[in-house]
Amino acid sequence: MHIDVAWLEQVDYLVAWEQQKALVAERIVAPDLTNKLLLLEHPPTYTLGRNGRLENLLLTEDELNERGIAFYQVDRGGDITYHGPGQLVGYPILSLKRVYDQPGLGMVQRYVNDLEEVLIQALAPFGIAAQRFAGHRGVWVETAVGLNKIAAIGVRIQRGGITSHGFALNVNPNLTYFNNIIPCGIQDHGVVSMAQLLQEPITVADVLPHIITAFSTIFQVQIHEGETWLAYR
């Protein structure tokens, strides 16, 4: 099975959300269409998932406007998170019934586990030993102050097993933006970035090939090497 990968650079959150909706709608009607993986960054944005609590946003509407930060309540799972420059965001648009030989009630759980594994494997070449944290979705790293989250995951599975939303990996974002929220509604654990752990410059472009390789391996898909792929390979 093939997948088309697109590196979209920085995209407004609403623009990317509408693009996802369009791709999902096409695949609900025609599930045999090629799977997609959209990779991008967003300008500073907070999003609150459908199960989230608004009190986990610590800024007023006026404060958001003053600081130029967008805020949207969206249809993914999970609570509140931040997106911004220096964070690698991935939106897989997949037909899980095609990806998995035996789709069923455990399909969503398996999908989220696989997304976590993609991130864990992509971080390994940088010497970052990422892990899961029982009871908490996403990918975590042990630090001097305990487990901190390096990647968030929030997905939506629609009719026919078509996925949208996805993951956000902290490569080198400005982490102070996380001070304005209770990330994912978790007060006892903070966030961390690759740049913070490595103590050296790193860019999203440095990480892209590793995400692509890990995604191809875990989901057993062949990457369609179009222009967008060649641009950063």
Catalytic residue set:
184
Q: What stretches of 117-221 adopt beta strand conformation (E)?
A: 131-133, 136-143, 146-158, 162-170
Helices 204-219, 107-123: axis angle to 10 degrees equals 140
Cβ atoms of 97 and 27 within 8 Å: the answer is no
Cβ atoms of 44 and 70 within 8 Å: the answer is yes
What's the token pair of residue 53?
A: 């609590």
Q: Say how far apart CA 134 and CA 171 lie, in whole Å.
A: 23
Give SS3 for 19: helix
Residue 32's DSSP bridge partners are: none
Looking at residue 34, the DSSP 8-state letter turns out to be: P
Q: Say how far apart CA 207 and CA 123 lie, in whole Å.
A: 8
H helical segments located in the chain: 13-29, 61-67, 96-99, 107-123, 194-198, 204-219, 227-230
